[in-house]
């Protein structure tokens, strides 16, 4: 499963890139606002930190304006992936852009039928939001299973990008289902390293090592 960082924070992206775990980045208008940076400028900087796809979201709601915005965004770097909302205009834009060879991430997916539409429109990625789905009394992981089943039934190439990931259990369940990608805030990705027994083990080994009075090197 590929790991994308869901952030526009340059320091966090650099930090994760150094672990070798970073396969791409996703941003959205909220994350850009949080960064306090110019959209184009910060996207260019992010694109230089990873070879993987960097999702940059259009903000127009109509197809012609989405295409104009996408034109500006895709000039930033060759690894820009245009993010469009799961609407009729969003999917028209998806179809047009992917037909020209531009990567598209169809975002704000909350049903398996919507995911089916995104795949038929040729999406590179579809982003079902599991956390927001759970928050509203639905079963986010059931949504991922349903999309996996449908995509496998028809051998769609669209990758399932599990989004709105809130904790390690979402990551584990997504991996068990066979989702292609997950995008999570850096803190959630870093949380995957943590285990109480790892910490205790290090503590014990270091205490015993101190008794030897030795040093390496
Ligand atoms: C995905 O691409 C979105 O940016 C993101 O995962 C949304 O997550 P949230 O529900 O935590 O805002």
> Which pLDDT value is given to residue 187?
97
Ligand 1, from 6, 31, 55: best to mutate by most atoms within 8 Å of Cβ? 6
Task: Look at phi and psi of residue 80 and say left if phi exceeds 0, alpha if psi is from -120 to 50, else beta.
Answer: beta
* Residue 129: closest CA among 61, 183, 189, 58: 183
> Which pLDDT value is given to residue 104?
98
pTM for the predicted model, two decimal places:
0.96
Q: Which atom of ligand 1 is nearest to the CA of 165?
A: 6
Is 163 in contact with 26 (CB distance < 8 Å)?
A: yes
Which one of 14, 34, 68, 83 is the catalytic residue? 83
- ipTM confidence: 0.97
> Which pLDDT value is given to residue 130?
98
| Residues with Cβ within 8 Å of residue 105, at least 6 apart in sequence | 26, 53, 55, 81, 82, 83, 84, 123, 124, 125, 126, 127, 161
Check pocket membership of 183 for ligand 1, CB cut-off 6 A.
Answer: yes
Nearest CA to ligand 1 atom 1: 163
Which CATH class, in words, describes the domain spanning 2-212? alpha beta
Domain regions of the chain by residue span:
2-212
Taking each helix axis as running N to C, give the angle between helix 112-120 and helix 140-154, from 0 to 180 degrees, rounded to the nearest 10. Answer: 40
| Residues with Cβ within 8 Å of residue 138, at least 6 apart in sequence | 110
> Which pLDDT value is given to residue 158?
98
Is 104 in contact with 125 (CB distance < 8 Å)?
A: yes
Please list the rounded mean pLDDT of every run of 10 residues in the chain (217 residues): 98 96 97 98 98 98 98 98 98 98 98 98 98 97 98 98 98 98 98 97 98 97
> Which pLDDT value is given to residue 3?
98
């Amino acid at each position: 499963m590929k790991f994308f960082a869901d952030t526009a924070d340059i320091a966090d992206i650099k930090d994760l890139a150094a672990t070798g775990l970073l396969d791409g980045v996703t941003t959205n208008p909220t994350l850009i606002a949080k960064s306090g940076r110019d959209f184009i400028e910060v996207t260019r900087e992010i694109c230089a930190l990873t070879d993987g796809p960097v999702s940059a979201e259009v903000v127009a709601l109509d197809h012609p304006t989405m295409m104009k915005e996408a034109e500006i965004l895709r000039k930033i770097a060759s690894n820009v992936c245009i993010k469009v909302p799961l609407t009729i205009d969003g999917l028209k834009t998806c179809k047009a852009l992917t037909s020209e060879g531009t990567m598209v991430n169809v975002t704000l997916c909350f049903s398996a039928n919507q995911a089916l539409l995104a795949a038929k429109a040729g999406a590179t990625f579809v982003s079902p939001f599991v956390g927001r789905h759970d928050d509203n009394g639905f079963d986010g992981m059931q949504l991922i299973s349903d999309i996996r089943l449908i995509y496998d039934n028809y051998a769609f190439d669209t990758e399932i990008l599990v989004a709105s990931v809130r904790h390690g259990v979402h990551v584990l369940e997504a991996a068990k289902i066979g989702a292609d990608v997950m995008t999570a805030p850096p803190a959630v990705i870093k949380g995957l390293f943590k285990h109480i027994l790892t910490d205790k083990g290090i503590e014990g080994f270091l205490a015993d090592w101190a008794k030897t009075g030795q040093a390496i090197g």
